Chain A
Amino acid sequence: MSRRRLAAPVVKRKKLAEVEWKVIEDFCKGCGFCIEFCPVDALEESEKLNAKGVHPPKLKSEDACIGCGLCERICPDFAVHLEKKVSEGEEEQ
């Protein structure tokens, strides 16, 4: 059974968590899981090549990510992760 995919955002979305999407480019092996299974289709292959010769993922746009964490979990190589955003006034962890 296929899943209904949500279209790419055209308006600002409410984030599930205050996080910043990051990728440790040299860990990426180009499996494509994060891109394929992101529920809001926020990711795509970047142009650049990493040390392994693959294209690491990148966000399609700044506010595409809703911070659900699926990509962080499904990355077998710990390359993709969500860094907690430190807001003003908060102590740095």
Chain B
Amino acid sequence: MTVIQEFEKHLLAKYLRLERFPHIWCEGCGDGIILNCFVKALDDLGINMDKLVVVSGIGCIGRVAGYIKCDSFHTTHGRPIALATGIKLANPKLTIAVISGDGDLFAIGGNHFIHAARRNVDMTVICSNNFNYGMTGGQFGPTTPLDSYTTTTPYGNIEHPFNLVHLAAAAGAVYVARWTALHVKRLTESIKKALQKKGFKFIEVISPCPEIYGRRNKLGKSIDIMKQYRQISQIRHGYDPAKAEITKEKIIVGEFIDIEKPTYGELLQKQFLKIQKKVMGG
């Protein structure tokens, strides 16, 4: 049996562009796990793949759009959320998932993130947070911890990182969760929940980058990083996202926000009907 023939027997094979495997990601990279959990969520939900659009940005995780067998757009750096807004508003019947990285979504793309969250545009945003810009060789980004070493912080990072779940919640996201790449079952459940919910949903996934961030900061091998997640993760559902820290001693994970709020599309529809009533008479 060829490798492709073996792969065809994988439960999730029918959701993947098999001819493009093996994927480009490093050994132990969290991106492969995120793809795995995302596609399992699709399978569990029996989602209509013809109505799913995956939009990604630039970075290692950005390649995810090319591996899933559905309509997908690999956009310019930082812009997947803006592009996804256009797709969703032009065709509200489509289900939109934006899967991108910490730099793409929160540095160059930060502005688009906060406004889409504020507008409550209906989309699920999954962030692979590996604390650096891996694709370009490991520069620091908006989530890099203080004192970390990257190629552009050779003496240690002096910038405070974002607390992404706090940012998402403050900007208005209706569902906010954080998991690590270790928490595969819970992450899959979160993704399922998010895909079925209306509004702007955000899931942060703490993801190992063993070859670059890990190596440079002496975090050991990928298995050591994952063991560390097991050691210091604390599941705290409903925790105040402002206090949900990531430190060397603890990573607070869980579902922090799960609220209902009218989406941009719903408000627009309401307005449309109101105006239609006025114009058409009655």
Contacts and interface: CB of A to CB of B under 8 A. Distances in A.
**Per the CB under 8 Å rule, do A and B touch in the complex?**
yes
Interface string A52-88: 0000000000000000001011111110011110000
A75 B36 contact: yes
B27 A31 contact: yes
A76 B36 contact: yes
A74 B182 contact: yes
Interface string B22-55: 1101111111110011001000000000000000
B184 A24 contact: no
Contacts of A37: 182, 226, 230
Contacts of B230: 2-3, 37
Q: Can you list the 8 inter-chain pairs with the closest CB atoms, starting with the nearest?
A: A76-B32, A29-B27, A73-B184, A31-B28, A32-B223, A24-B6, A81-B10, A74-B184
Nearest to B34: A76
A67 to B, nearest CB: 12
Interface residues of B, number: 35
A41 to B, nearest CB: 15
B223 A76 contact: no
A76 B12 contact: no
A74 B180 CA distance: 11
Contacts of B185: 70, 73
A1 interface: yes
Given A73-B188, A74-B33, A81-B9, A29 B223 contact: no
B227 A78 contact: no
Contact of B226 (A29, A36, A70, A73): A36
Given A24-B3, A77-B32, A78-B36, A33 B226 contact: yes
A39 B9 CA distance: 24
Contacts of A74: 33, 36, 181-182, 184
A14 interface: no
Contacts of A81: 9-12
B32 A26 contact: no
